Amino acid sequence: MTHDLDYQNNPLHGVSLKQLVTEVAQHYGFKILYAYLNINCFANNPSVESAVKFLKKTDWAREKVEAFYLYQFKGLPRASAEQFELPPRDRVVPPDQKPGRPAELSLEDAERLREKRAKKAAQHDRAAAPRTASGKRVERVAEAPDADPWAKWRK
């Protein structure tokens, strides 16, 4: 069993979700948070209270915000592959790593990052496309939107 002492150097130790959201929202604003994290609670009627309510119910979103807090807001170096597999609150930060200054972020940088991620995802999708025995990619033919999805099972 791991003791709390192992987590003392993690900047999330002892920080409530409300405190975390308040700090990053005051520093960056909701527009920047939405631009970098793409989580709707920062775009649709954003408030600390509504964001906290959503994040408490949604593990993937909460972990994304907590990772943003550690690596953008607190300026920690990227986690090791082993630590990256853990939720942000469970990560052990080496004692020689100390929080730094918040990263300078802009909407323009967020847009460039979004485009880079979209390009990378498209490359991944192309690489994962099914291939024939000869190695040629199989082109997927999109069905007409009004096509009957059950047609091939009917007799």
Q: What is the three-state SS of the chain?
A: CCCHHHHCCCCCCCCCHHHHHHHHHHHHCHHHHHHHHCCHHHCCCCCHHHHHHHHHHCHHHHHHHHHHHHHHHCCCCCCCHHHHCCCHHHCCCCCCCCCCCCCCCCHHHHHHHHHHHHHHHHHHHHHCCCECCCCCECCCCCCCCCCCCCHHHCC
Q: Give residue 3's pLDDT.
A: 46
pLDDT tens for each residue of 9-27:
889 999 999 999 999 999 9
Is residue 124 one of the residues assigned to a domain?
no
Task: Confirm whether 91 is domain-assigned.
Answer: yes
Whether the CB-CB separation of 82 and 17 falls below 8 Å is answered with: no
Residue 138 CB: number of other CB atoms within 10 A? Answer: 9
Express each pLDDT in 64-101 by its tens digit: 999 999 999 999 998 899 999 999 999 999 888 889 99
| Most confident segment among 21-30, 123-132, 140-149 | 21-30
> Is 135 within the bounds of a domain?
no
Determine, yes or no, domain membership for 112.
no
37-63 mean pLDDT: 96
Number of structural domains in the chain: 1
Q: How far apart are CA 8 and CA 21, in angstroms?
A: 20
Q: Which domain holds residue 44?
A: 4-103
Provide the CATH number for the domain around residue 60.
1.10.720.30
More confident residue, 115 or 133: 115
Please give the residue that has the higher pLDDT: either 20 or 2: 20
The answer to whether residue 138 scores a pLDDT higher than 80 is: no
In a domain, 123, yes or no: no
Instruction: For residue 93, give both structure tokens.
Output: 């930060």
Whether 116 is in a domain gets the answer: no
